[in-house]
Amino acid sequence: MIEIHLYGKLRRFTSSRAPTGDSIVRVPLEEGDTIADVLKRIGISLEEVGSNIFRNHKYSTLSRKVEEGDRLGVFPDDMQLLYKWYFQKEDDQG
Amino acid sequence: MSKILRVNMTDLTAKYEDVPEKYKNWGGRGLTSFITLEEVPPTCHPLGPNNKVTLAPGMVTGTPAPSSGRISVGGKSPLTGTIKETNAGTPFSQHLARLGIKAVVVEGQPKENGKFWLLKVDKEGAELLPADEYVGKGLYEVYPALFDRFGKKAAIMGIGVAGEMKMAMAGVCFNDIDGRPSRYSGRGGMGAVLGSKGLKFIVADDTGGPGVDIADKDLFDTGRKKLTEALRTHGVTKEGGGLNTYGTAVLINILNEAGGLPTRNFSSGEFEGASKISGEAIAEGVKQRGGAGTMGHPCHPGCIIQCSNIWPKPDGTEHVSVIEYESDWALGANCGIDDLDVIAELIWLCNDYGLDTIESGGTIAVAMEGGLAEFGDGQKAIELMHEIGKGTPLGRILGQGAAFTGKALGVVRVPGVKGQNMPAYAPRAIKGIGVTYATTPMGADHTAGYTIGPEIMSVGGKVDPLEVEGKAEISRNLQAATAFLDSTGYCLFTAFAIMDIPEGLEGMVETCNAVLGTKWTVDDVGEIGKEVLKRERAFNEAAGFTKADDRLPEFMYYEPLPPHNTVWDVPDEMLDQVWEL
Ligand code: SF4
């Protein structure tokens, strides 16, 4: 089982949607799961997900593998803020 | 032709001067730092007669360019002893620019201590008037009285009682779009420097003024349209986008997830009450309470991002504007306070007394650490704020900022650099911001170069916040880019759009070229920024700062920060590399 904390408009994928509280979904893990896999499984379209994805408080890409007991924090695309001026190209390569 | 207005507080004169050739293509931070380096002896006492305060609108401020109403306030800081530039978005900046004023330089010191003056600037000229009747009062009382006296069309710069008392965390206050005393050039105690010069207010009215000369109107329109289009389409800056909907406090939850939200005086990177004080919670409270509550409020006319807000009381009447991220964090999570109404009251008190919210929150947190209150005790925090405003002996200590308070109370965990308390990003969790805190000429300052961007918020995720590698270069480039942006007059938040949408940055540079008659390209941005940084660094070196000052406080080297449980481990050599410009 892993725990996914959702924010902003993604809170609609949980039963506790109060913006002043925690909106959490618990998902059973399948062999080889990445963050993208589990998000898709609970019905979230990846287009709505921004770059602000955290696995156990570490900034992560969607392709990162998840493990039993992980905690994910996922923000939508309109909640990703600030500078990547000089780094976007670097980021996009490789 | 724009002018420099020189205000001499020793002989109480205000005179216009031509702009020297070397300053012609500068504005905002680039200009305040240039003038400070040229005219202020680096070893002077910040509150003595030889320090100067320079106020400068940005290069394109006062034009119809979107979100461009920033003003820079510069000089030598009484908080850090370094050069200082601190900026705000306000109609005041637009008024100065449209009066044809490129900079106001305030110098000298009245012989008589305790007298205060008001500088009135309009198309007829500039004159100093006595301001003693406004001394000792809160700014929420004084600003309406000044608008009654000088007309609603005017714009006001002011200092509060904290500035009168020359407190090192006194900010410089500007009115917002509706006349509230709520937009601050808060950092570094520049309000105290104005206090030391007896200058309490500047009232500017651009009615009938010459406006801003635009050398190439067609180019300006082309650039303005490109930039506007970028701001209107980017997810973060557009209408209904992240900033407009949640305000800057959208960052509370993000930093909390990243384990980088400094909590209880930087003893944790995670705050259990984060969701209660988040941008989403603010938006929800505004919606539920209704009344005066507003999200998507602009700080000055012409801002199309509109990240500001008005927080209502439970009965819907106005409490305070604005609860922005840094204030929310400083007076909230950093003090262990999870109640937005308490945070709103603390911000209101800062605005009323004339205090920097970041340094105030940092100071209260250090005071809590030192045993003056329990973390999370909002009522006690409010009492401490009143001590400052009333200028009690304890208040005079707190008013000097977190580092001074830490010394007074024997606190080791004082999270500052060069005497300035850190803002809302924990450097042990987000190493790059620590590099910027350590090395910026300003003392710990996040706006000096947000490595937060690539580390926490970028697409792709190749930059790991906890990795050490490559941080010097990132920080250097971002500091340079920021120094340029702070010179243009554009709000820092335009950066979201111009970084993602190349036409946006092009448009921005074109508007600058159109106003100044320069021929810059987007590739010049970094070099222009570096020129600013070099001048600031030169001032600090002459003031006696060395690379040994470019370090984080010692406790961060040995005390692991939860939840990552990492210490500050960026090698000193890497910090020094930032200055290999
Ligand atoms: S984005 Fe926010 S801070 Fe910037 S100019 Fe607009 S309202 Fe002011």
Q: Which residues contact B550 (CB under 8 A, 6 or more apart)?
A: B417, B438, B439, B575, B576, B578, B579
Look at residue A84 in the predicted model and tell me its pLDDT: 36
Chain A contact for B451 (CB, 8 A cutoff): yes
Q: How far is the CA of B571 from the centre of ligand 1 (A)?
A: 36
* Superfamily of domain B3-204, CATH level 4: Aldehyde ferredoxin oxidoreductase, N-terminal domain (3.60.9.10)
DSSP at B454 = I
Q: Do B495 and A77 touch (CB under 8 A)?
A: no
Q: How far apart are CA B320 and CA B219, in angstroms?
A: 40
Question: Could you tell me the pLDDT band of residue B469, with boundaries at 50, 70 and 90?
Answer: low
Q: Which residues have C-beta atoms less than 6 Å from ligand 1?
A: B 67, 89, 298-299, 303, 305-308, 491, 493
What separation in Å is there between the alpha carbon of B69 and the centre of ligand 1? Answer: 9
B350-B356-B357-B360 Cα dihedral, nearest 10 degrees: -90
pLDDT at B183: 98
Measured N-to-C along each axis, helices B340-353 and B378-390 cross at an angle, to the nearest 10 degrees, of 0
Q: Which of residues 32-91 of A touch B (CB under 8 A)?
A: 50-54, 57-61, 73, 75, 77-88, 90-91
Q: What is the pLDDT of residue B450?
A: 55
pLDDT at B464: 53
Q: To the nearest whole angstrom, how far is the Cα of A73 from the nearest Cα of chain B?
A: 6
**Mean of pLDDT over chain B:** 94
A59–B465 C-beta distance less than 8 A? yes
Q: What's the gap in Å between B177 CA and the centre of ligand 1?
A: 11
Check: CB of residue B271 under 8 Å from CB of residue B365.
Answer: no
Q: Model confidence at B113, in pLDDT bands (50, 70, 90)?
A: confident
Q: Give percent of chain B above pLDDT 70.
A: 96
Interface contact flag, B452 A59, Cβ < 8 Å:
no
Mutate to test the interface with B, among A47, A64, A87, A88 (most CBs of B within 10 A): A87
B452 vs A54: CB contact, 8 Å cut-off? Answer: no
Structurally, chain A folds into a number of domains equal to: 1
pLDDT at A88 over 90: no
> What is the residue whose two structure tokens read 């949607």?
A17
Inter-chain CB proximity B453 and A82 less than 8 Å: yes
Angle between helices B340-353 and B357-369 (to 10 degrees): 120
Helix (H) or strand (E) holding A83: none
Position A41 in a domain: yes
pLDDT given for residue B496 in this prediction: 83
Contact criterion met (CB below 8 Å) for B347 and B331: yes
Q: Would you say residue A77 lies in a domain?
A: yes
Q: Which two tokens stand for residue B488?
A: 């243009």
Please indicate if any CB of chain A lies within 8 Å of the CB of B94.
no
pLDDT at A87 over 60: no
Asked if A79 and B464 come within 8 Å (Cβ–Cβ), the reply is no
ipTM: 0.90
Q: How does pLDDT run across B201-223, given as a tens digit for each residue?
A: 999 999 999 999 999 999 999 99
Nearest alpha-carbon partner for A28 in A80, A91, A70: A70
* CATH architecture assigned to B247-426: Orthogonal Bundle (1.10)
Please report the residues numbered 507 through 566 in chain B whose beta carbons come closer than 8 angstroms to any beta carbon of chain A: 526, 563-564
- Out of B270, B281, B481, the one facing A20 most closely (by C-beta) is B281
Specify the amino acid at residue B479. Q
Element (H, E) at B495: helix B495-500
Q: Do A52 and B245 touch (CB under 8 A)?
A: no
Assign residue A34 the CATH number of its domain.
3.10.20.30
Range of the domain at A35: 2-86
The CATH code belonging to domain B214-244+427-581 is: 1.10.599.10
Q: Is A32 part of any domain?
A: yes
Query: Which residues of chain A make contact with B458, given a CB cutoff of 8 A?
Result: 51, 83-84, 87-88, 91
Confirm whether A8 is domain-assigned.
yes
Domain boundaries, chain B: 3-204, 214-244+427-581, 247-426
B426 touches A: beta carbon within 8 Å: no
Q: What are phi and psi of B117, to 5 degrees?
A: -130, 160
Q: Centre a 10 Å sphere on the Cβ of residue B510 and count the other Cβ atoms it contains.
A: 24
Q: What was the pLDDT predicted at A82? A: 40
- Across the strands, what pairs with B375? none
Is A92 a member of any domain?
no
> In this structure, is residue A93 part of a structural domain?
no
B398–A contact, CB cutoff 8 A: no
What are the pLDDT digits (tens) for A10-66?
Answer: 999 999 889 999 999 999 999 999 999 999 999 999 999 987 888 898 878 888 899
B231 Cα: distance to centroid of ligand 1 (angstroms): 12
Distance in angstroms (rounded) separating the CA atoms of residues B145 and B137 = 11
Instruction: Determine the Cα–Cα distance for residues B126 and B400; give it in Å rounded to an integer.
Output: 33
What pLDDT is recorded for position B449? Answer: 60
Higher pLDDT pick, B472 / B423: B423
Tokens of B541: 């070196």
Chain B, residues 490-509, CB within 8 A of chain A, namely 495-496, 498-500
| Atom 2 in ligand 1: residue holding the nearest Cα | B307
